[in-house]
Amino acid sequence: MTIGIEHFLTVGALLFCLGLAIALSKRNAIGVLMGVEIMLNAVNITLITFSRFTVSERPVTGHSFVVMVITVAAAEAAVALALAVSVYRNRETVDVDKMNLLRS
């Protein structure tokens, strides 16, 4: 038995669904961020899979997109964690339902 494109795409789809479920079900801001990171990693697996299993003139394109996604994910994590720390200092909670900073 060889591992084909279907196996990698199945793993990517399962990871994306898991990340989506985590991001939508958690009340904690850190949990939501972890769900988003899992979704981004699932997209990376899918991009690498299509880069590996398709015949193209430029086979490095998928890898380039993955590097860009990793860079954006790192920046997103840094900014989001800084915001979470700031909100925790002001409101003493990271519960997403209790964050009403825009209300007067």
In this predicted structure, the answer to whether residue 102 has a pLDDT above a threshold of 60 is: no
The mean pLDDT value for 92-99 works out to: 74
Q: Tens of pLDDT along 67-87?
A: 998 999 899 889 988 888 887
Q: How far is CA 85 from the centre of its chain?
A: 20
Q: Tens of pLDDT along 25-64?
A: 988 888 888 999 999 999 999 999 988 888 878 777 888 8
| Sequence spans of domains, the chain | 28-97
Q: Which residue has the tokens 């084909």?
A: 4
Q: How far is CA 35 from the centre of its chain?
A: 6
pTM, rounded to two decimals? 0.80
Q: How far apart are CA 21 and CA 36, in angstroms?
A: 10
Q: How far apart are CA 80 and CA 75, in angstroms?
A: 8
